[in-house]
Amino acid sequence: MALEIIQLPQWQDNYAYLIADPVAGEAAVVDAPEPGRIPELLKEKNWQLKAIFNTHHHPDHIGANRELIRMYPGLEIYGHQNDAGRITGMNRPVDDGDTVRLGSETAEVLFVPGHTSGHIAYRFGGDVFVGDTLFAGGCGRLFEGTAVQMHRSLSRLAALPAISRVWCAHEYTESNLRFAVTIEPGNRALAARYQKVRDQRTKGVPTVPSTIGEEKETNVFLRWDSPEIIERCRETDPGSAADPAQRFAIVRKLKDRF
């Protein structure tokens, strides 16, 4: 049986995830800023909380840790080894290529720095929990890493199968695409997605998850080889436009000022 995923809107625009192997009755939390409905859902589903999978150390991703540790003693708290001392309760440091288990389900740990120096993603088969590295229609700011690191991390995620579902940690899609259409106005798939997302948000419908295939078609932070984006970068910074990582950096700076 496949992983069961419950998407939990929290705070203003965060998504936390309660994931489970329902046959084994084992559950884990991904990137929760607060416990919220998690205890209620665990009781309702009769699941045992076994672990917290943190993608990085920011407070809006680890805020629930302290209270969940208090409520459910013995939890395994995962995070990248670079975040030792920065993730509350972390007792299972991991690195790229490690695997983590939840019941009969196994996830591969992908080290994807850029947003932070210790950012990781968890890939459970066709479901990838990417934190703030890749957003629907966007990507995270470069708080601790470099454009070269982030370009490499995004390239790695873009190489996953197109049908992979992308579970990011924020509902930023509409604002991301509002920017994107100014960078690649000739992209018809992007224009159609922007209109669809606007309709979804008007109705209060989540725009997450997306897929890797959809992101490659419409996310300007993955489209550094688009002729339209190359030309925009050449206009912005002729000296940097020849290098894909530098083109990514140009687009990221334009977004930061948008």
Which among 31, 127, 132, 151 is annotated as catalytic? Answer: 132
Known catalytic membership, residue 225: no
Which among 57, 115, 119, 151 is annotated as catalytic? Answer: 115
Instruction: Name the burial class of residue 196, with classes exposed (0-12), middle (13-18) and buried (19+) by CB atoms within 10 angstroms of its CB.
Output: middle
Which among 31, 60, 83, 127 is annotated as catalytic? Answer: 60
Known catalytic membership, residue 58: yes
Residue with tokens 């990011």: 168
Known catalytic membership, residue 56: yes
Q: In this structure, what token pair is assigned to residue 115?
A: 């947003």
Which among 57, 80, 119, 170 is annotated as catalytic? Answer: 170
Known catalytic membership, residue 61: yes
Q: Which backbone phi and psi does 142 adopt, to 5 degrees?
A: -90, 80
Which among 57, 61, 119, 151 is annotated as catalytic? Answer: 61
- Do the Cβ atoms of 220 and 149 come closer than 8 Å? no
Task: Tell me if residue 29 falls in helix, strand or coil.
Answer: strand
Which among 21, 56, 57, 151 is annotated as catalytic? Answer: 56
Which among 57, 58, 80, 119 is annotated as catalytic? Answer: 58
Q: Measuring CA to CA, which residue among 132, 134, 135, 121 is closest to residue 60?
A: 132
Known catalytic membership, residue 151: no
- The span from the CA of 69 to the CA of 206, in Å, is 29
* Catalytic residue positions, numbered: 56, 58, 60-61, 115, 132, 170
